[in-house]
Structure 1
Amino acid sequence: MSWQPTMDWHHAKQRSQVLSLIRLFFSERDVIEVDTPLLSSSSVTDPHLDAFVTHFNYSVESHCSESTVLYAQTSPEFAMKRLLASGYGCCYQICKAFRHEQQGRYHNPEFTMLEWYRLGFNHFDLMDEVEELMQLILKCDKIERISYQALFINKVNLDPLNTNINELIGVITQFDKLSDWLLEEESVDTLLQFIMAELIEPDIGKDTPCFVYDFPASQASLAKISSKDIRVAERFECYYKGVELANGFNELTNVEQQKLRFMQDNDLRKQLGKPTLEIDENFIAALEQGLPACAGVALGIDRLVMIALSVNKIDDVITFPLSNA
């Protein structure tokens, strides 16, 4: 293992230029840079996200021999929404985020995220702005847009909003991707996500960035359910050159619906053999106060820089990946 950085000085300067362009982009739109903590007393309940955990022995609420659990944040989402609920305006943040996932070509467990929120925007308005940012940074052509439903119909001849386990297994078998664990899977969403990741994502956004919007309502996360079609959530993702680059929502503002989703997350965590997590009461209190209508998006800075610099692995655009930290 080398003590030296994996990103050379030339790439470091180019990365710095990308960050400067991002800050200029938001400054021109009067979107204000904010800063929130990396450590929190609670974490997301998302069954597919695992946070790093640490312990703090000096809490004012406990004796120093007793430790308080703290979580390294998987994203600044909850904290930034607390800012919005308290009266802040349109804002963005460039920060470190942490996800306890396998290190790979496109992922380092510690990574840099750009997240921003626009008051009064819906997810289509925000897609327009993400497109403008990508054209500035990547000099790419106009971005393609397609609904999740149309994408599945076009790529695998399957309607994801009207399907079942047998039909999904049939598609996976047709593409010679079937394995034993898939035959035992009872979740339509898990099979849809497998088809998306294995059969569809590698074939979209190759030369032109591709927005996929209106995901199934069961994959809403923190997005609103569409008033036009309750089968879909007002959520989008952006793919480019084999990379999932951004994930955005027309944000859910209803506190009761949000509580229900957190409980459903914990139910699924139980089914997956994962520990349940306490709901973030500070976030819930902010929603009770009132989150203004807004749309928000998280974009991976390291992945964006990878594409901008035409490099093949994340290690080339960060100084010290986990294996060398």
Structure 2
Amino acid sequence: MTSEGWRPSASIENLRHRARILADIRRFFGERDVLEVETPALSHRAVSDPFIDSIEAAYRPFPGGPAQPLYLQSSPEYAMKRLLAAGSGAIYQLGRAYRNGESGGRHNPEFTMLEWYRPDFDDRDLMDEVEALVCTVLDLPPVRRVTYRALFVEQLGLDPATAPLAELKARARASLDVAMEDDDRDSWLNLLMSHLIEPALATAGAVFVHEFPASQAALARLRQGEDGTPVAARFELFINGMELANGYHELTDAAEQARRLQADQRSRATLDLPQRPLEDRLVDALAQGLPDCAGVALGVDRLVMLALGTTSINDVIAFPFARA
């Protein structure tokens, strides 16, 4: 009896629809004179984020020779910033990214990411452009914008900036079966966001959440929030409770970038995660001079899922992990 495992999981009609969306994306950037670029899928450096696990590969200069560890890119961000520092101007990339351990209804270890960078934009300018792009694919009303802090107050009745750690823990344990004993404040905020707030956004349509806590800046710069305290110039776009895009007014300070990479490495050590080579070439690029810019990464598979009204990533990619 012939196995059905050879068949694509997505219908051919869905794959045609996907191809039209990819063409629309390229047309969108072509009309705005944003340059399409390609960067390596394999890198000598790995992402430092302790919450992203790189997939390792082994390169051998000849069969049977010594193996050199390489890493499949989890995002083209570091390489694209090197291009920006070299004077590329506005750029985008539509290509594959890879992350270990990410498999499920909305995840596949190999996925398609759209990432773009706009010199002379800040995060608010880029939210406008993200909305314009998404609205070429989806029929959406104007996207609501709400700060991270206001969203916590609205959904949970607590202020993430001032609530004691004990209150964050109590709020999580009142609604969730939590075994976590972590005393890291952001771990509890992330838990509340992912397990209580994001599900509540499932009926909220399209929402930009912006001005994240300064401690969650990742590669974003900081600015003053409404009350004068620092916040991250960062946003995430959720549509029907599904995270679609994550953007920053990009950090351009080389010394601060180096500090954050080292802080990530220490966090990885604390969590007993592998110590992998840091992207020091990104620091060198920032020292050379990264233009003032904003950048965003958008999950293309999820965008196609929303366009087709499906909740499974298997419906929009030809061969998911189980059939790869």
Q: TM-score range by the shorter chain?
A: over 0.9
Q: Whole-Å Cα distance in 2 between the matches of residues 248 and 156 of structure 1?
A: 24
Q: Whole-Å Cα distance in 2 between the matches of residues 205 and 20 of structure 1?
A: 28
Structure 2: which amino acid aligns with 1:109? Answer: P
Q: Say whether the 8 Å CA contact 1:164–1:188 is kept in structure 2.
A: no
Match of 2:200? 203
2:14 corresponds, among 1, 11, 33, to 11
Q: Say whether the 8 Å CA contact 1:169–1:178 is kept in structure 2.
A: no
Match of 1:51? 54
Residues 111-139 of structure 1: per-residue CA shift (max 9 Å, x gap): 00000000000000000000111111101
Structure 1: which amino acid aligns with 2:109? Answer: P
Match of 1:39? 42
Structure 2: which amino acid aligns with 1:319? Answer: A
Residues 233-275 of structure 1: per-residue CA shift (max 9 Å, x gap): 1000010122110000000000000010011101111111102
SS at match of 1:278: coil
Q: Say whether the 8 Å CA contact 1:142–1:208 is kept in structure 2.
A: no
Q: Whole-Å Cα distance in 1 between the matches of residues 272 and 81 of structure 2?
A: 30
- Shifted more, 248-257 versus 282-291: the winner is 282-291
Aligned counterparts, 1:281-300, within 5 A? 281-300=280-299
Aligned counterparts, 1:239-318, within 5 A? 239-318=238-317
Q: Quick one: percent identity of the two aligned structures? A: 44
Q: Whole-Å Cα distance in 1 between the matches of residues 316 and 90 of structure 2?
A: 29
Match of 1:185? 182
* 1:179 Cα deviation after fit: 2.0
Match of 2:122? 122
Residues 64-103 of structure 1: per-residue CA shift (max 9 Å, x gap): 7322211000000001000000010101010000000231
* 1:227 Cα deviation after fit: 4.1
Q: Whole-Å Cα distance in 2 between the matches of residues 297 and 54 of structure 1?
A: 27
Residues 4-36 of structure 1: per-residue CA shift (max 9 Å, x gap): 000111001100111111111111111111111
Q: Whole-Å Cα distance in 2 between the matches of residues 167 and 207 of structure 1?
A: 26
* 1:206 Cα deviation after fit: 2.8
* Structure 2 length-normalised TM: 0.95
- Equivalent residues, number: 319
Aligned counterparts, 1:106-121, within 5 A? 106-121=106-121
Task: Establish whether residue 173 from structure 1 lines up as the match of residue 170 from structure 2.
Answer: no
Match of 1:225? 222
Q: Whole-Å Cα distance in 2 between the matches of residues 178 and 54 of structure 1?
A: 37
Structure 2, unaligned runs of 5 or more: none
Q: Say whether the 8 Å CA contact 2:172–2:178 is kept in structure 1.
A: no
Structure 2: which amino acid aligns with 1:276? Answer: Q
Match of 1:67? 67
SS at match of 2:132: helix
Q: Whole-Å Cα distance in 2 between the matches of residues 116 and 206 of structure 1?
A: 28
Structure 1, unaligned runs of 5 or more: none
* 1:277 Cα deviation after fit: 2.2
* 1:282 Cα deviation after fit: 1.8
Q: Say whether the 8 Å CA contact 2:114–2:299 is kept in structure 1.
A: yes
Q: Say whether the 8 Å CA contact 2:223–2:230 is kept in structure 1.
A: yes
Structure 1 outlier segments of 4+, above 6 Å: none
Q: Whole-Å Cα distance in 2 between the matches of residues 180 and 13 of structure 1?
A: 45
1:214 corresponds, among 211, 215, 235, to 211
Q: Say whether the 8 Å CA contact 2:255–2:283 is kept in structure 1.
A: no
Q: Say whether the 8 Å CA contact 1:161–1:231 is kept in structure 2.
A: no
Structure 2: which amino acid aligns with 1:259? Answer: A
Match of 2:135? 135
* 1:164 Cα deviation after fit: 2.6
- Shifted more, 122-131 versus 206-215: the winner is 206-215
- Shifted more, 237-246 versus 161-170: the winner is 161-170
* Structure 1 length-normalised TM: 0.95
SS at match of 1:204: helix
* 1:205 Cα deviation after fit: 5.4
Residues 213-233 of structure 1: per-residue CA shift (max 9 Å, x gap): 011111110000114545311
The alignment yields a C-alpha RMSD, in angstroms, of: 1.5
Q: Say whether the 8 Å CA contact 1:149–1:161 is kept in structure 2.
A: yes
Q: Whole-Å Cα distance in 1 between the matches of residues 255 and 196 of structure 2?
A: 36
Match of 1:90? 90
Q: Say whether the 8 Å CA contact 1:209–1:241 is kept in structure 2.
A: yes
* 1:211 Cα deviation after fit: 0.3
